[in-house]
Copies of this chain bind each other. A is one copy, B any other.
Amino acid sequence: MSKGRVCLAYSGGLDTSVILKWLVLEGYSVVCYLADVGQEDAQDAAAIEKKAMLLGAERMVIEDLQKTFVEDLVFRAVQCNAIYEDRYLLGTSLARPVIAKAQVQVAERYNCQFLSHGCTGKGNDQVRFELAFKALNPALQIIAPWRLPEFCNKFQGRQDLLKFAAENNIPVSSSPKAPWSMDENLAHCSYEAGILEDPDHTPPKELWKMTLDPLDAPDKPTEFTIHFEKGIPVKVVEGGKETTGSVELFKLLNKIGRENGVGRIDIVETRFVGIKSRGCYDTPGLTIARLAHLDLEGLVMDSKVRELRDQFITVSWSRQLYNGMYFSPEREFVENSILFSQQNVTGQVRMMAYKGNAYVIGRSSDASNLYSEQDASMDSLEGFSPWDTTGFIEINALRLKKYGLQKQKDGQPLTK
């Protein structure tokens, strides 16, 4: 008799194949689930399904979530210029909520009692998936093999996995495994672990999947224009051709970024569980879209709204996403502000990509009156009385004069 039905996040790779087989051997029925968020590995759906069924899955469900991923998560990140620890564009974190929600829906559809995944026990992803699972449907139980002592003891290294695979007729790719881990989606590819655990080991040239090496990029820059409406990219014009449609245009930005080697970072970050870890990421399209959006906001967003948004909203949303708190009241709270802040972020940004970098080379907007050449001009005093500035300075200086005088009195003059 079955111990119950598990919905397992299944990629077709060695780890989740072993988990699938192990679950079957343990007496579970298993519905395998694969979310297509643009990763190359999801492209051969038929082979993955075949493998899952061969290993004893009851069913293999593959869903294309690219549109949801781009529109609900990636573009929200663009709207708030999301960034973690000033460097990481959150590529993996953005995909997790989309995948988790779809997996719960599949589990509900097929009457599963359990959810399972192949995330390791020290990483962020287990936290992200499971916090989402618990918010989405707390009645579903979670099997996290890499946190089960019996599983961890049985599989203490890759050799144990390969041995189990051989014993259980699990097909294993003949190409050698890269000496690092990867996670890919439309937004980025991440690289960590293995040889990268030495933070002073430069990533080898062949590591990067989604971007050309800047040294190999074309000698001629690519010029293009991104059009935004309410903070969302709605059109990209490149080589005289217009591209619209969320996924299509984001893929075009990825292509521009890839070919010009844009969006590589190599960092040490702190995981939610408190461990520092080294990660390399290439994020071509999102790097470009974020830069363009930041630039347009300079033109059209009120500076005080921007201050508040930058300091509180961007920081909060980014941290929430990184820490797996997407399905949370605080994320909802913060996201409401993001949308509100973007009402006038409409306009177009002209850009250039070249050998590892993207540059803004111009921007314009009809949606906002905040930038005015006349106001900005040093040559025009139309509508501006410079003597007002004298009063402005005087009033702002009231406190500062007292500060200077107090310092003098205290024997620590500022001019010292």
Contacts A126-B393, A136-B414, A327-B400 known; A369 to B302 CB distance under 8 Å? no
Nearest residue (CB) in B for A133 is B397
Q: Which 10 A-B pairs have the closest CB atoms?
A: A391-B391, A121-B386, A270-B303, A388-B391, A268-B298, A392-B395, A134-B397, A388-B394, A135-B400, A274-B398
| Closest CB in chain B relative to A18 CB, distance in Å | 15
Nearest CB on B from A205, distance (A): 11
CA gap between A200 and B193 in the complex, in Å = 44
Interface size on A, residues (CB 8 A): 131
Can you give 6 A-B contacts (C-beta < 8 A)? A85-B298, A149-B387, A214-B355, A278-B371, A309-B333, A355-B355
Residue A198 is within 8 A (CB to CB) of chain B in the complex = yes
**Chain B residue contacts of A110, Cβ below 8 A:** none
- Which residues, 353 to 393 on A, are CB-close (under 8 Å) to B? 354-357, 359-364, 368-373, 375-379, 381, 384-393
How many copies of this chain does the complex contain? 4
In the complex, per-residue mask of A388-416: 1 if CB is within 8 Å of any chain B CB, else 0: 11111111111111111110010000110
Known contacts A214-B354, A304-B330, A305-B330; 16 additional CB pairs below 8 A are: A86-B294, A101-B414, A136-B404, A275-B384, A304-B328, A305-B333, A308-B333, A310-B315, A327-B404, A328-B400, A328-B403, A369-B402, A375-B398, A388-B391, A388-B394, A388-B395
Whether the pair A386, B333 counts as a contact (CB closer than 8 A) is: no
Separation of A377 and B180 alpha carbons in the complex (Å): 11
Does A276 count as interface, using CB distance less than 8 angstroms?
Answer: yes
Per the 8 Å Cβ criterion, residues 318-369 of A in contact with B are 319, 325, 327-330, 333-334, 336-337, 340-341, 344, 350, 354-357, 359-364, 368-369
| B131 engages A369 (CB within 8 Å) | no
Give the docked Cα–Cα distance between A309 and B267 (Å). 18
Contact with B along A70-97 (1 / 0, CB 8 A): 0000000000010001110000000000
Residue of B nearest to A385 (CB): B394
What residue of chain B has the Cβ atom nearest to residue A375's Cβ? Answer: B275
- Provide the residues of chain B in CB contact with A136, threshold 8 Å: 404, 414-415
Q: How many angstroms from the CA of A327 to the CA of B330 in the assembled complex?
A: 27
Kindly name the residue among A121, A359, A369, A390 whose own CB sees the greatest number of chain B CB atoms within 10 A.
A390
Q: Among B214, B306, B337, which residue has its beta carbon within 8 angstroms of that of A85?
A: B306
A6-B329 Cα distance, complex, nearest whole Å: 42
The answer to whether A400 touches B299, judged by C-beta atoms less than 8 angstroms apart, is: no
Question: Cβ of A199 and Cβ of B364 under 8 Å apart?
Answer: yes
Whether the pair A308, B295 counts as a contact (CB closer than 8 A) is: no
C-alpha gap A402/B371 in the complex (Å): 10
Query: What is the distance, in angstroms, from A225's C-beta to the closest C-beta of chain B?
Result: 10
A337 to B336, CA, bound (A): 7
Q: Does A188 contact B (CB under 8 A)?
A: no
Q: Which of A85-123 contact B (CB under 8 A)?
A: 85-87, 101, 104-105, 108, 120-123
Q: Is A207 an interface residue (CB 8 A)?
A: no
Evaluate contact between A193 and B377: CB separation under 8 angstroms.
yes
Closest B residue to A104 using CB positions: B415
Chain B hits for A302, CB < 8 A: 329-330, 399, 403
If A266-B360, A354-B356, A401-B134 touch, whether A396 touches B127 (CB-CB below 8 Å) is yes
Is A215 in the interface zone, CB < 8 Å from B?
Answer: yes
In the assembled complex, A245 has its CB within 8 A of some CB on chain B: no
- Residue numbers in B under 8 Å from A85 (CB-CB): 298, 303, 306, 310
Would you call A389 and B334 a contact (CB within 8 A)? Answer: no
